[in-house]
Chain A
Amino acid sequence: MRSVAHTWRRLPLKAKIGAGLLGLFILVAIIGPSFTPYDPSFQNTSASAALRGPSGQHLLGTTQNGQDVLSQLLVGIRMTLILAAEVGVIATVLSVLVGVTSAYLGGIWDEILSLLSNVFLVIPSLPLLILLLGYLQQRGDTATIIVLSVLGWPWGARVIRAQTLTIRNRDFVAAARETGEQTWRIILFDIIPNQVSLIAANFVNTVLYAISASVALAFVGLADLNSWSLGTMLFWAQSAQALTLGAWWWFLPPGIAVALIGTSLVLLNTGIDELGNPRLRDARFATKVAGRRVWPTDPTPVLADLTRGKAASFLHSFSRESVLEETTTGGKTR
């Protein structure tokens, strides 16, 4: 518990604001749906109840069918967050699996997995998502979660692979290996705990991707339109021309909720980034001496010692990163 409090104190202000804002939305997602004033799907068919602005009875007004917008919003936030969290967990697990395996196996397998991640990174995901979901006839949440997770791992895998490579070559891992520790134990207890912040940042990023993609997909109509999520709310508001009719209370809340959740995630991520990268973190503390900025000293970089076979270095030479390395000829590479 003390270490949690300690980490919190070290967090930059941005991250604290982000975490606070996100915590607020998570709280709403947990307790909100039990406080909904109405059933979000309940349609009040009397003409006087349709498309009314905010009032004491309906704090955020009503939709065209007399449904309570606040109730929809409370349920929608939960739906959207749960979906995004599930995608975040699945895709992050995939990223860690692929990234760590790739770095650990090394050689040709590493290059094949890296090539695969690079290919999936460069293929635009939204049109592919639309194509996949378009062909699926039942468009429930499960389908969306699977499809989003399957396409959500490459970026994380790349980052985690790079980090695993540098950790793998540190002395404590070598020591563990010398004492006869098994590979899976080294991975689980030495490698992964040392990149928790990276995995956390990757999780946050994936959740962000899942939210924006799922909202966009629902807006296009590729979601279970009978359930209430922030995306389907926007879909129905747009298809009823809510803004043109002046019903801002119907259209703005879900959009602003998406934007606020997104902002909190970005802030949180920049915070985690600053925690891991001393130069970003200490930017605030850079001292000025005679009008010039003086920077805190850097940590010593650990160079990954990569050994590639002929086939592996051939594959590697096709990647963009190959440019950034000094030599790429077969054998030892520094």
Chain B
Amino acid sequence: MPFILRRLGFYVVAAWVALTLNFFIPRFMPGNAVEAIMGKFPSLQPSAEKAIEAMLGTGRNQGSLLSQYGRYLTDVAHFNFGTDLTNYPASVSSLLTQTIPWTLILVGTATVIAFFLGTALGILAGWRSGGWLDRSLPGLMFLQAIPYFFLALVLLDILAVKAHVFPQGQGFDGQLVSPGWNMPFILNAVQHSVLPAITIVLTSVAGWMLQMRNVMITTVGEDYVLAAQAKGLKDRRVIFTYAARNALLPQLQGFGLALGFVVSGALVMEIVFSYPGVGLLLLNAVQSDDFPLMQAIFLFITFAVLIANLVVDMVIVAFDPRVRAKEAR
């Protein structure tokens, strides 16, 4: 079986674990979600309790756990995440479809930029270890240790509120443009995404750089690199086609694993910019005890990260001759 299919199998298992967790958390957590909702809306009649239970799917009269589980899986397969509590009667999936493109474009692009930039800087720092770039790493680590949202708030205050270089949060200016596929709107949205993207890149670039530098230092010490140098090849060729190409493989694996963490941080950053993405939606869900929405967002983020990991695996196949060699056999 090809490597990529096996990986797909692994992601299916991971997705199933996430789905199952998502199913059992509301049913087995101490504390009662229904009571929390009843407390939140004092105007609700006591008879509404049953309705809420039915909506959350946690009621006692919903049949056996197994049949509930079956119904839940069918619902998820049909993207039916129930009705939203705060934006009643909007469905959770309609709220998600509105916000997903914003997050996907912003967080996706910024993460990829940060990865490439960090990897490139890591290659240089690792090649000339002890050089100025390498010695600037502790400073970059400080940037990395700053919570995403904190840096975002400070940059927003300095560059947008005080200096007016960037717009003050939001995904677009509702007074100037209306959402749609027209040029003014796209330009406006791009303009609004620059500062959030900068914060994501600034806070995550050092992590990629440090990792790449460490692998690069180990790779540069290999005999084949010395041999390439001994042959009199140009430094540039040795760096990129000999050392960096092999150092990139562990880096790619790390990228897959760190993705979940990076994306999570970026989501909190959205809150600061009032960016109309999934992160802001998640905050609203948390603040209003909107459990169906929280669950759907958790599933969405998990699936997005799993798919991104699958893409990483495809890149690994393209880069790693060992995979192809193994599959040819």
Please give the residue numbers on chain A whose beta carbons come within 8 Å of chain B beta carbons, in ascending order.
Answer: 14, 17, 115, 118-128, 130-132, 134-138, 155, 208, 212, 215-216, 219-222, 234, 238, 243-244, 251-252, 255, 258-263, 265-267, 270, 273, 277, 279-280, 283-284, 286, 292-293, 295, 298, 317-320, 322-324, 328
Contact = CB atoms under 8 A, between A and B. Distances in A.
B264 interface: yes
B298 A130 contact: yes
B264 A126 contact: yes
B306 A122 contact: yes
B298 A320 contact: no
Interface string B209-246: 01000100110110000000100000000000000000
Nearest to B128: A293
Contact of B291 (A134, A258, A284, A322): A134
Contacts of B218: 277, 279-280
Contacts of B11: 122
Contacts of A215: 147
Interface string B196-216: 000000000000001000100
Contacts, number: 201
Contact of A131 (B1, B22, B35, B306): B22
A212 B265 CA distance: 9
A136 B6 CA distance: 37
A323 B150 contact: no
Contact of A134 (B150, B156, B157, B294): B294
Given A262-B145, A324-B322, 17 more contacts: A14-B138, A119-B10, A120-B17, A122-B305, A124-B302, A125-B260, A132-B29, A135-B31, A212-B265, A221-B286, A238-B153, A244-B157, A263-B138, A283-B129, A283-B134, A322-B3, A323-B326
Of A115, A123, A135, A266, most buried by chain B (CB within 10 Å of CB) is A135
Interface of B: 1, 3, 6-7, 9-11, 13-14, 17-18, 21-22, 25-26, 29-33, 35-36, 129-130, 134, 137-138, 141-142, 144-150, 153-154, 156-157, 161, 210, 214, 217-218, 220-221, 229, 253, 256-257, 259-261, 263-265, 267-268, 271, 282-283, 285-287, 289, 291, 294-295, 297-298, 301-302, 305-306, 309, 313, 316, 320, 322-323, 326
B238 to A, nearest CB: 11
Nearest to B39: A137
B150 A258 contact: yes
Nearest to A118: B10
Contacts of B323: 323
Contacts of A134: 285-286, 289, 291, 294
A142 to B, nearest CB: 12
Given A221-B287, A222-B286, A323 B14 contact: no
Is chain A's interface secondary structure helix, strand, loop, or mixed overall? helix
B157 A318 contact: no
B313 A124 contact: no
B60 to A, nearest CB: 18
Contacts of A115: 10, 13
25 contacts: A118-B14, A122-B256, A123-B18, A123-B260, A123-B305, A125-B264, A130-B282, A130-B298, A131-B22, A135-B25, A208-B145, A219-B271, A220-B282, A221-B287, A243-B153, A243-B161, A255-B154, A260-B142, A265-B145, A277-B214, A283-B217, A286-B129, A293-B220, A295-B221, A318-B7
A127 B157 CA distance: 27
A31 B12 CA distance: 51
A136 B13 contact: no
Given A126-B265, A298-B221, A220 B286 contact: yes
B31 A124 contact: no
B150 A131 contact: no
Contact of B29 (A128, A136, A251, A267): A136
Given A119-B13, A137-B32, A324-B322, A262 B297 contact: no
B6 A318 contact: yes
A258 B298 contact: no
B14 A212 contact: no
Contacts of A155: 257
Nearest to B297: A127
B78 to A, nearest CB: 21
